[in-house]
Structure formats: C-alpha cells, structure tokens
C-alpha cells in the first residue's frame, strides 16, 4: 500500500482519506490496514479544515459526527475514529474526554496516575469507534483492548496514555511496543480488522459507481 500522507491527493483517481489530524493515529491505521490496495491520505494532504466540535456522549456518536463533517468538506470516501481510555474505578474517566483533560500527553498521564494513586483495582480499557463513510454507505465498528494502568510510565514509544497502559496478558505497555506490535493488540488495530471487509467492498462499489 502506498503512503501519500505528506503529498497532495491526485486530481484524478480514487483514494481513501483517514480523516484525522493526529499523525500517530494515521500511522497506526495505515499499519493495521496493511496491503489493501487503496491509496491513503491523511488530513495533512489537504487545505486545513477546522476540527469539528465533539458533542456526542459516546465514542460512536463522535466518530459518526466526524464522518459526516469531514465528508461535507472533502466529498470523498473516508475513515474517521474516536477513541479513548476508560477506567471503571474512576467512573469511566477520562472516557470521551481522554484527549481534553489536560494540555499534553505528559499532563494527562500525570492526572490519571494521581487519581489512581493507592487504588488496587487498576483495570482499564481502550475503545476505538471507527467509521467508513462515502456519502452513501456508512459502516461503524468498535475495537476494544482490556488491560491495566501501571503505577508509573514505562516506555517512550506510542502516544497518549500508552506508557501507562499494559494490555491484558502481556508483559509490556503500549509505550514499549512498536507500531506493528501495538497494532496486533490495540483497540485501533482490532477496529480496523473488523472494518476491512466492508471497507473494501463499499469502496469498490463507490469507485465502480463513479
């Protein structure tokens, strides 16, 4: 699969937009998609589009809102996602607000660790709601990865809460894994795996109908 994330899309031809401004998410989705034979572009290949307000109360609602919003601007088949960390012992915090509870990853991690200090129940899970939309068809799936919150950050890879999240039945945190390793276990990788059959079929139908 070709990587066009740093170039402008062609004036002709069909391609799929991974509609995120987070290049880390783009790279993970690209890795999970593998060799599907569809040219991919991230939002960095297009004139800047203001991010949509996230007014949904669930990951699924936010992902679908993004899909509708970006399709209006791009008029092209796309993938959108909304994801986050859920900690039942903290009543679901940070949940859909995972990216907005503090200014940067380090501050967000520090806040979560402070809230988890002294807690024996450290169970948590990542959720990724992933949506394909081409103006006619919309397909939504969800990927989930269960694990635990570590006592301190471990590893310098990944992004977000990766250094403090250790997936179930694995000795390493996401912060210790390469993109390829993380994709095998992650919520995002599992969501992509679920959506691939419908994505390929619906994208082909879109192309053949043009």
Beta bridge partners of 148: 123, 166
Half-sphere exposure of 125 (CA within 13 A, CB side): 11
CA 137 to CA 205: how far, in whole Å? 10
Of 82, 105, 121, 162, catalytic: 82
For this structure, is 82 an active site residue?
yes
CA 23 to CA 29: how far, in whole Å? 10
Q: Which two tokens stand for residue 164?
A: 């403090």
CA 128 to CA 200: how far, in whole Å? 20
CA 205 to CA 185: how far, in whole Å? 30
Q: How far is CA 82 from CA 4, 13, 37, 56, 143, in A?
A: 22, 28, 25, 10, 11
Beta bridge partners of 83: 128
Strands (E), the chain: 16-18, 40-42, 78-86, 123-133, 138-149, 165-167
Task: Tell me the angle at which helices 187-208 and 23-33 cross, rounded to the nearest 10 degrees.
Answer: 70
Active site positions, annotated: 82
């Amino acid at each position: 699969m070709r990587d066009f994330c740093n170039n402008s899309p062609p004036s002709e031809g069909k391609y799929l937009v991974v509609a995120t401004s987070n290049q880390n998410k783009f790279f993970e989705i690209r890795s999970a998609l593998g060799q599907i034979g569809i040219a991919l572009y991230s939002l960095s290949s297009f004139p800047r589009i203001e991010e949509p307000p996230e007014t949904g109360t669930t990951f699924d609602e936010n992902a679908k809102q993004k899909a509708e919003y970006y399709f209006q601007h791009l008029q092209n088949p796309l993938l959108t996602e909304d994801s986050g960390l859920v900690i039942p012992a903290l009543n679901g915090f940070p949940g859909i607000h995972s990216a907005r509870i503090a200014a940067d990853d380090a501050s967000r991690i520090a806040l979560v660790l402070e809230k988890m200090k002294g807690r024996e129940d450290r169970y948590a899970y990542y959720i990724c709601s992933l949506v394909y939309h081409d103006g006619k068809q919309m397909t939504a799936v969800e990927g989930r990865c269960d694990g635990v919150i570590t006592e301190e950050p471990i590893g310098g890879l990944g992004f977000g809460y990766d250094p403090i999240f250790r997936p179930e039945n694995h000795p390493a945190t996401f912060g210790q894994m390469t993109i390829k390793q993380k994709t095998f276990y992650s919520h995002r990788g599992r969501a992509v795996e679920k959506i691939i059959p419908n994505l390929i079929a619906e994208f082909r139908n879109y192309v053949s109908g043009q």
